[in-house]
Structure 1
């Protein structure tokens, strides 16, 4: 099946700067002998120099030669398939491709028999694959997080959706890359200007790119004879003179860092895509010139103004009924977002609009909006008073440091809510507690947050992050049967954890470190899926109860200075690998017998109140023991079972080891 990329002298001129026109990133076992193989041959037949990796994966790391091939390609095509994320090679190459995108590489995703939302939200096979990667790279979880972020970014790009032999261009608005013959492209060879000066009404598309910024002398009427030009893409090309003419038939206009206003006689009613990031364009002047034509462009689907740092005002009247996404990222001078008149808007990116104060009330009624990013809008204080965002899937309010209250979003389909570093947030609306499709909720470092919804019925939520919410005193009942991750790190004033938390039978990871005022855990705990719990520096906790956690692998209670007793049940956790009780100065009571068959490391360093060491089951083969700085007086003979398999033993400043330990060990 042929791709909508055309032959001609367009791509041959790229090779002056790049080794390859196209780099293919794909999972071999899924598509090598099918879709990808046919695509590769189609591209080669059109004289498009394409790199395909014909070697099967034999190493964990991708080679330097492969990295060079990615970096020296003008375009990367990513073919997402069902098993794509199971391959670390594919994921590592994807990271490099997205890095190259920042330097001007064109990146085009193809969703081969997978839904783009499955990749973006990491559901289905992608969820399974990434869970496996988390297990495989448990000691390098940052790598997996980087893969997740890169997948989300790549899946948010415009791309092709291939399903059962049909390439659906309309669904993902790929008209912007559909180069209609004949196409003219240039890598700024000597003939570039002469071709533009001559012009021709036969030219339909121009892709004018340079790997490095360059300034050219372009005639003001260079495009005068190109009346049928549909697509104009310019990257890293600066012109020294203002243009007097642009064709009115343009459907795609993408010109990065355009230094002037658009020509006064340009009427852009045919535009489907307008991308002018980092440009100095003065929109208010443009709109007056063309009688606010942009505001009534009923065909415009994609509008990018990212990094237009001097942009202060958007048109007062906007009627963009076909608009699907608008990117205002890093428009640091923009103070107000007006009514966009965009009933079909799906994505609104306002990241780093640092001076944004106000969002128009009409934005609250965009019932097709799916993705809304407001991160680092530091002056934003008020969201629309009424929000009915019934299609909203994720909203990012990270670093909105002036926001004091989160209202009812009217978003029954919300899956991700990020409010990290909303330092002045005090209250979350009661309705947020009933978002039964919410999967991830981040409130990390909301330092003034005191009030959560009194009732939380979040039946789909898997991850809640409350780390650094230092004003929070009580965690209410969590009706969250699917919760897996609960992070309450540094909730210094937390006194109470609701009894319902003890029944979260899918909870795997629970962090309560530095909850300095926490005295009591739920009286009944049935945490059958729990793998690790971190109670480090919970200095007010006196007793560790039975967690009802048969699958617990890691217990961290370092510096629990007032801990006196550990429940007897901990002695029978046969999957426990790490037990760290270092610095528990008042600890006196441990389980009478340790039957921890999986134990790898135990630390009782600094447990100065512990006088008797516990009985050891013969099956324990622990590798590392740390008993330094304690006053243990009685060492049972069963200690020999631990010593027999040791690779590391620390007894620093143990005053009472004596001859008994020497006789037990037989080798000291």
Structure 2
């Protein structure tokens, strides 16, 4: 019998998601919305529109489930009344067991516990099923087990996943050793919750003795070590009278050790914050019976490092987990927020930034409150943090014994609002005694700093930051007497009324938060002799409605301690005459009205590392910078009036970044170098420089490249360019040819030639740039030829040719053995690709979208993941699409006639991305 179209479609297609639901409950509402939302996300989803309840389940449906990556099961009130859906669930769970299929349960208007225990409507449904199947009770038991298993897959707040990681570290089944595991993280992150869950799960089933000591830090301070030890040992021996006669029940004493050696025990010590506490409680722990385990929770990693075999860091909740936890406390288990409340919920989740304590406290606080009360509370939270949360977090700050480390913490909390590198923080915060290096390590170990998602960067959790603000605000009622000012209203008050004092060490003013123009007193900084940080900036230029005025100028910046000075839109033509910042590390005066950077400012800058005067349109000259020997970065982008700057740059041996983009008047620098014609800027630069940006210097670059094209050894790149150059940006210049001598830049990693409209060719010597990783030629509309690659290039991973006039790629492209990304979107002249393309074994992305003349796509590398031939109207043949694609876009290929048979299938995204997309969809439609 011939297959129906329905059967054929199911056999041919592989789905990202199989949607299992009881149609009568959800088909015309939630399930349909979910199906459409998933399809909108380009998640290939199977939804059974055709088969009706009562029909025999076709084998093709089992096959569809088997070949789906993820099954989403929607449990509703009447789900258990149908054997159809129960059988479907059994098969889904069997797929999970056999081939690791992902199963995502959703509970639509019903509590998971009802499904797990078959209570409520499920109890009545199973009463009928037991009557119907009284001769096949094994079937009923199978359905019950499936419901329980599926409901158990649902875990609020990812506690199960975190527990499993701790259980793996504990390795409870191993009975040959004694093991201590540390659970580490910031206050409120869930350390106690995890330790309690592990204790409850294993304490009575796997151990002969057990003890859970809560709040060790607090109990140790209030009750002393002896009483705390007594409590621990009494619980372990389950005998309140055995140790009464002992004055000092040392855990390490022979009497105690002898008893403990006979007993496999589980000990949890919650909230330990010093090594002294730990030693008092588990001294001689290695003498415990083999198989014994000790769990220690702490905010202080250093405490754990001394004794723990492994340390588990408790990660913050992700967005989905945060919303689940918050919903539970704000709306209850069986209620779902309206669209508006859901929007507000996301704001709360963002504020809490994955901290469970904050989510619980705020959820309980907002429970049953009106929308207006929610709005008011959220607005207040931006200014005044919740006190219950602060009290928990402040414990970590109080536990910092060193005042210097407390100051480092407060400086980071008040002034480091973006992720930062350790090197950067140390350069700004260090007073010359390595205190910042030590302090940052302590803050990390104390969970007051965390590693950012960006590699080698650190950040401070927003709640920890707000706790730091509260510490500063509590210093004094009058803002001018506090150590740091960061609230826009407070800063404006102090600067306008001239109420600042020597107490002030730092000022941060976000001009976007100003509510009116600020007319500063000319003596606003005259009393701030200890000022170290001054940051007046604008994080949103479009919303910056108000300005700062200095009608009488600025009398003084008297502090010699100033390390960081940033003032966007600086309103004066010069800096104060007494400004001699010998400790300054960064000087940032973007979009200023400065006309000159005078001698008195630059004459003594021994610690200066960064100078950014970008877009200071009136700036004409910068004095001799030779007294700033540690300068690493200069940004003069957009200084359109600047003509004098470069005479001393050859003395800046640490300079690595120079940005002269848009400094068109630098062409007049010929007199400075004593040369005729175009100034050869590169010959005056330090040989250590590694980033050059000459974007838009059209006339200068034209002359420079003309010189390069000559056969004069005196103009060879190897002599004129700094040899450590790793980044060269010549974008939007009038360059016509990249010379062969570019091969001398042996360390070059990034070459940007974006939108060089006159560029026609590249030298074949480019293959000698063995360190090159990125070559960006996007928008070079006259580039017709791409060079031969005569030698292998292992490091070149990305080439951008979007919008070029290239007609073909060379066969030698196979020598780009490290190439992973090839972008050729909008290359309207290219007609074919070489067969050697398939030799690029590491290529994972090929973008040919809009290559309208391309007629044939040869076999692609087997490892290719993403292929885009969208809008290739002339494409007629795709010889062979590789089997590992995760994304294939061939829309609007109006001439396409042939694809190899093995390519005729769907291409789902990776599983993890699909799960992320699905969970996001669930919240978007208000699940």
Q: Is the 8 A contact 1:356 1:379 kept in 2?
A: yes
Q: Structure 2 CA distance, aligned partners of 1:361 and 1:490?
A: 39
Q: Structure 1 CA distance, aligned partners of 2:190 and 2:437?
A: 15
User: Are 1:337 and 2:592 matched, yes or no?
Assistant: no
Q: Which among 290, 299, 304 is matched to residue 534 of structure 2?
A: 304
Q: Structure 1 CA distance, aligned partners of 2:830 and 2:821?
A: 18
Q: Structure 1 CA distance, aligned partners of 2:735 and 2:272?
A: 53
Aligned 1:225-264 pairs, distance under 5 A: 256-258=492-494, 260=496, 262=498
Cα drift, residue 403 of structure 1: 3.6
Deviates more, 1:599-608 or 1:505-514: 599-608
Q: Which among 499, 510, 513 is matched to residue 778 of structure 2?
A: 513
Deviates more, 1:157-166 or 1:478-487: 157-166
Cα drift, residue 581 of structure 1: 2.9
Q: Structure 1 CA distance, aligned partners of 2:271 and 2:828?
A: 62
Residues 600/485 of structure 1: CA separation in 2 closer, same or farther (3 Å cut): same
User: Are 1:598 and 2:870 matched, yes or no?
Assistant: no
Q: Is the 8 A contact 2:862 2:882 kept in 1?
A: no
Cα drift, residue 282 of structure 1: 3.2
In the alignment, what sits opposite 1:412? 653
- Asked which structure has the greater RCO (Cα within 8 Å, sep 6+), the reply is 2
Residues 618/487 of structure 1: CA separation in 2 closer, same or farther (3 Å cut): closer
Residues 343/148 of structure 1: CA separation in 2 closer, same or farther (3 Å cut): closer
The RMSD of aligned alpha carbons is 5.7
Cα drift, residue 376 of structure 1: 3.2
Cα drift, residue 472 of structure 1: 3.6
What are the Cα deviations for residues 505-532 of structure 1, in whole angstroms up to 9, with x where unaligned? 3333322111012233343354322222
Residues 619/519 of structure 1: CA separation in 2 closer, same or farther (3 Å cut): same
Q: Is the 8 A contact 2:829 2:853 kept in 1?
A: yes
Residues 286/596 of structure 1: CA separation in 2 closer, same or farther (3 Å cut): closer
Residues 621/458 of structure 1: CA separation in 2 closer, same or farther (3 Å cut): same
Aligned 1:74-93 pairs, distance under 5 A: none
User: Are 1:538 and 2:804 matched, yes or no?
Assistant: yes
In the alignment, what sits opposite 1:206? 476
Q: Structure 2 CA distance, aligned partners of 1:558 and 1:626?
A: 13
What are the Cα deviations for residues 244-297 of structure 1, in whole angstroms up to 9, with x where unaligned? xxxxxxxxxx9553255648xx9x8x78847486864433x689xxxxx87xx9
The two structures have a TM-score, normalised by structure 2, of: 0.41
Q: Is the 8 A contact 1:566 1:590 kept in 2?
A: yes
In the alignment, what sits opposite 1:57? 315
Q: Structure 1 CA distance, aligned partners of 2:536 and 2:384?
A: 15
Cα drift, residue 359 of structure 1: 1.1
Q: Is the 8 A contact 2:486 2:508 kept in 1?
A: no
Q: Structure 2 CA distance, aligned partners of 1:232 and 1:147?
A: 21
Cα drift, residue 563 of structure 1: 2.5
Residues 56/304 of structure 1: CA separation in 2 closer, same or farther (3 Å cut): closer
Gaps of 5+ in 1: 1-22, 42-49, 74-98, 116-145, 169-183, 189-204, 210-222, 224-228, 239-253, 288-292, 649-668
User: Are 1:643 and 2:904 matched, yes or no?
Assistant: yes
Q: Which among 678, 682, 705 is matched to residue 430 of structure 1?
A: 682
Residues 156/541 of structure 1: CA separation in 2 closer, same or farther (3 Å cut): farther
Q: Is the 8 A contact 2:832 2:854 kept in 1?
A: yes
Q: Is the 8 A contact 2:587 2:608 kept in 1?
A: no
The two structures have a TM-score, normalised by structure 1, of: 0.54
Q: Is the 8 A contact 1:449 1:472 kept in 2?
A: no
Residues 419/334 of structure 1: CA separation in 2 closer, same or farther (3 Å cut): same
Cα drift, residue 391 of structure 1: 0.1
Q: Is the 8 A contact 1:595 1:620 kept in 2?
A: no
What are the Cα deviations for residues 101-159 of structure 1, in whole angstroms up to 9, with x where unaligned? 9969999999x9xx9xxxxxxxxxxxxxxxxxxxxxxxxxxxxxx97579898777647
Q: Is the 8 A contact 1:621 1:641 kept in 2?
A: no
Q: Is the 8 A contact 2:503 2:530 kept in 1?
A: yes
Q: Structure 2 CA distance, aligned partners of 1:36 and 1:466?
A: 57
In the alignment, what sits opposite 2:823? 556
Cα drift, residue 431 of structure 1: 4.0
User: Are 1:490 and 2:773 matched, yes or no?
Assistant: no
Residues 436/490 of structure 1: CA separation in 2 closer, same or farther (3 Å cut): same
Residues 577/329 of structure 1: CA separation in 2 closer, same or farther (3 Å cut): same
For the residue of structure 1 that corresponds to 2:901, the secondary structure is: helix
Aligned 1:442-461 pairs, distance under 5 A: 442-443=693-694, 450=701, 455=717, 457-461=721-725
Q: Structure 2 CA distance, aligned partners of 1:618 and 1:261?
A: 71
Which is higher, the Rg of structure 1 or of structure 2? 2
Q: Structure 2 CA distance, aligned partners of 1:500 and 1:433?
A: 24
Cα drift, residue 392 of structure 1: 0.8
Cα drift, residue 590 of structure 1: 6.2
Q: Structure 1 CA distance, aligned partners of 2:635 and 2:626?
A: 15
Gaps of 5+ in 2: 1-185, 192-216, 218-268, 278-297, 302-311, 327-346, 354-378, 406-416, 444-469, 512-517, 538-546, 668-678, 709-716, 910-927
Q: Is the 8 A contact 2:853 2:872 kept in 1?
A: no
**How many aligned positions are there?**
469
Q: Is the 8 A contact 1:376 1:399 kept in 2?
A: yes
Residues 551/425 of structure 1: CA separation in 2 closer, same or farther (3 Å cut): same
For the residue of structure 1 that corresponds to 2:549, the secondary structure is: coil
In the alignment, what sits opposite 2:795? 529
Residues 275/618 of structure 1: CA separation in 2 closer, same or farther (3 Å cut): closer
Residues 463/527 of structure 1: CA separation in 2 closer, same or farther (3 Å cut): same
For the residue of structure 1 that corresponds to 2:836, the secondary structure is: helix
Q: Structure 2 CA distance, aligned partners of 1:326 and 1:622?
A: 48
Residues 312/484 of structure 1: CA separation in 2 closer, same or farther (3 Å cut): farther
Q: Is the 8 A contact 1:574 1:595 kept in 2?
A: yes
Q: Structure 1 CA distance, aligned partners of 2:908 and 2:486?
A: 59
For the residue of structure 1 that corresponds to 2:493, the secondary structure is: coil
Q: Is the 8 A contact 1:349 1:373 kept in 2?
A: yes
What are the Cα deviations for residues 6-46 of structure 1, in whole angstroms up to 9, with x where unaligned? xxxxxxxxxxxxxxxxx879999xxx99999459x9xxxxx
What are the Cα deviations for residues 65-86 of structure 1, in whole angstroms up to 9, with x where unaligned? 899699699xxxxxxxxxxxxx
For the residue of structure 1 that corresponds to 2:838, the secondary structure is: helix
User: More helix by proportion, 1 or 2?
Assistant: 2
